[in-house]
C-alpha cells in the first residue's frame, strides 16, 4: 500500500474505494479507523488554542478532512469568541463538482452553538483550488448574513492540490 499510495500520509488519506481496491475490506476498515482516530486527536489538539493562530496546522487538518474525497463536501468550523474550535461539522455532501451552502442554516447553527466566528471549508475533487464564481457569491452572502448577527466569517478555504484561502486572496472582506 505504501508503494501504491507513495507514503503513509497518502495511504491514510486514501478513499475507502482506493483502499479496498488494493487491500481486503478488513484492512481497509482498520486504516479508516486509524484515520478517524487520528482526526479525533487532531480535532482535540487544534481546539485548544485560537484556530487561526497556526494556519499551517489548520491547512493540514482540512487536507486530512477533505483531500481524499471524490465528491465535494462542505464543512463549517464554529469558533468561540477568542477563535477556538467549538465544533467541526459537515454541512453538505455534494456531487463531483458542486454542493449547496445555505447561509440561513449555517447562521442558525452558529447561534445554537453560541459561535462568534465561522470558517467555511470545502474540497474541489478536480484538485483545482481556485474558487468558482458561485463559491465567491455564496461566501459574500454568508459573510453578510453572519455579520448581521455579530458572527464573523473568518475564512472560506478550498482544498485542492493546495489550499486556497479567500481571506488571504482578498476575496473576503
C-alpha distances out from residue 133 to 51, 67, 89, 150, Å: 27, 21, 24, 26
What structural domains and CATH numbers belong to the chain?
1-46 (no CATH), 52-173 (3.40.140.10)
Q: What is the pLDDT of residues 139-166, one digit of tens each?
A: 999 999 999 999 999 999 999 989 999 9
pLDDT, position 158: 96
75 forms beta bridges with: 90, 121
Rounded distance between C-alpha atoms, residue 30 and residue 53, angstroms = 33
The torsion defined by the Cα of 144, 74, 38 and 33, in degrees rounded to 10, comes to: 150
Amino acid at each position: 500500500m505504501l508503494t501504491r499510495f507513495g507514503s503513509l500520509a497518502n495511504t491514510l488519506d486514501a478513499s475507502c474505494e482506493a483502499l479496498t481496491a488494493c487491500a481486503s475490506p478488513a484492512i481497509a476498515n482498520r486504516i479508516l479507523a486509524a484515520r478517524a482516530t487520528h482526526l479525533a486527536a487532531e480535532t482535540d489538539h487544534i481546539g485548544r488554542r485560537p484556530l487561526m493562530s497556526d494556519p499551517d496546522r489548520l491547512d493540514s487538518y482540512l487536507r486530512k478532512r477533505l483531500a481524499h474525497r471524490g465528491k465535494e463536501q462542505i464543512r463549517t468550523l464554529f469558533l468561540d469568541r477568542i477563535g477556538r474550535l467549538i465544533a467541526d461539522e459537515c454541512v453538505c455532501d455534494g456531487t463531483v463538482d458542486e454542493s449547496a451552502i445555505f447561509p440561513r442554516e449555517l447562521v442558525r447553527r452558529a447561534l445554537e452553538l453560541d459561535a462568534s466566528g465561522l470558517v467555511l471549508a470545502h474540497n474541489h475533487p478536480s484538485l483545482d483550488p481556485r474558487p468558482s464564481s458561485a463559491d465567491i457569491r455564496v461566501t459574500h452572502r454568508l459573510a453578510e448574513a453572519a455579520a448581521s448577527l455579530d458572527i464573523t466569517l473568518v475564512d472560506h478555504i478550498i482544498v485542492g492540490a493546495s489550499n486556497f484561502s479567500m481571506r488571504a486572496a482578498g476575496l473576503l472582506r
